[in-house]
Chain A
């Protein structure tokens, strides 16, 4: 098992020798341009034991050159038979480090996220993407070298009781999250204008641990991304567990996302 895990990670690294930093499953240390607005419509879900899916609407705004904020609403049938509005989250990221040269950069950022959700708590995973009310804070570093971008993050999560539903007394309330992402710009091989379609490929490792509870998981999430006219983005990804010792809904899930960017709007 460990050998398989290691080989998957290594193959991920090799693949990553070719990608960009507009990661599908994580945020890079870079921010959006000041006064730019991004709108994301996302659907993710799973097919076993039955088809369930979650839709989220996310608005992102570049508040200054160093600060960007996100606000997200979630709706799913994960915990009920019908689709319903689960709640929302807010996220802020502050870039504190930038070492740039012409076609490379190294950046660091701190982020915070808070969520308020009304679902019952069945899972051991604390996830602020529609499942749990809670708080998250962490750091992310991104290194970009021409067409390849590498990024790593670590964060602390604390789960609050959901609106109307408490976290079971036997569940962990604190968790550590970690991610490792690699991306490569596959096309165009040479830029000629803004209208060329960009194709980026990604491999991301997404993990969480509930310290003291022996609960943890590590997913590998390959992703493909198309960017049209330099402002419209389409993402596809799949989360597959490399190992899983945690009850959660994020296992074996697909993700489809549309993102529309408006630059210098305000």
Chain B
């Protein structure tokens, strides 16, 4: 019985790791005003190995990113690439496929990093859900300052997201 329990836990955990992941994101970049700047930003983003495709809306300064299926997504790298192009992330709305992941104490793990949900306490999330990253590097200071806490992850970094 105990073996079965352990087996089940490992089984669920492995499903979680396999299925729960980012599928796409809508990235709004601040400071962009010319198509040359947008092109430089898109080219910079395309160097990331987990990005499958990018569609740019040049009027709204929005990049719709489709992630590759089997490559872990690193959100910090997205922010870094935008800053390398000379701009900043104003807003990042990512679609996370929760499937089995349950938000325990408003937190879950993905790709070695911890994610803290700053709203919607105890809500069971299923299927694709759009989450907005509210950390520094992903939002204007008026937003990220509200959510600055001294969270420490056991491994990796802590992202703060709102649902």
Contact = CB atoms under 8 A, between A and B. Distances in A.
A and B from one assembly?
yes
A137 B90 CA distance: 33
B30 A105 contact: yes
Contact of B35 (A21, A36, A191): A191
Contacts of B43: 33, 36, 263-264
Given A36-B40, A191-B58, A102 B85 contact: no
A84 interface: no
B88 A34 contact: no
B61 interface: yes
A198 B84 contact: no
Q: For this complex, into which size category does the number of interface residues on chain A fall? A: 35 or more
B104 to A, nearest CB: 35
A231 interface: yes
A65 B28 contact: no
A79 B84 CA distance: 42
A131 to B, nearest CB: 30
A65 B86 contact: yes
A30 B140 CA distance: 19
B34 A263 contact: no
A175 interface: no
Contact of A100 (B31, B35, B44, B59): B31
A31 B40 CA distance: 11
A155 to B, nearest CB: 22
Nearest to A188: B35
Contact of B31 (A105, A147, A191, A196): A105
Q: For this complex, into which size category does the number of interface residues on chain B fall? A: 20 to 34
B61 A103 contact: yes
B33 interface: yes
A144 interface: yes
A11 interface: no
A33 B88 contact: no
B95 interface: no
A198 B35 contact: yes
B16 to A, nearest CB: 35
B63 to A, nearest CB: 12
A22 interface: yes
A227 interface: yes
Nearest to B88: A100
B35 A194 contact: yes
A60 to B, nearest CB: 13
A264 B44 contact: yes
A150 interface: no
Residue from the set B31, B34, B59, B86 with the largest chain A CB neighbour count within 10 Å: B86
B86 to A, nearest CB: 6
Residue from the set B28, B31, B87 with the largest chain A CB neighbour count within 10 Å: B31
A62 B40 CA distance: 11
Interface in B32-74: 32-36, 38-41, 43-44, 46-47, 56, 58-59, 61
Nearest to B91: A102
A154 interface: no
Contacts of A104: 31, 33
Nearest to A197: B35
Nearest to B31: A100
Contacts of B44: 33-35, 263-264
B76 to A, nearest CB: 14
Contact of A231 (B39, B87, B140): B39
Interface of B: 28, 30-36, 38-41, 43-44, 46-47, 56, 58-59, 61, 83-88, 90, 140
- Which 5 A-B pairs have CB atoms at the shortest separation, nearest pair first? A191-B58, A100-B31, A34-B84, A33-B40, A263-B43
10 contacts: A30-B86, A31-B86, A33-B40, A33-B44, A65-B86, A95-B86, A102-B61, A104-B33, A263-B40, A264-B46
Interface of A: 20-22, 30-36, 62, 64-65, 95, 98, 100-105, 144, 146-147, 149, 185, 190-194, 196, 198, 227, 230-231, 233, 261, 263-264
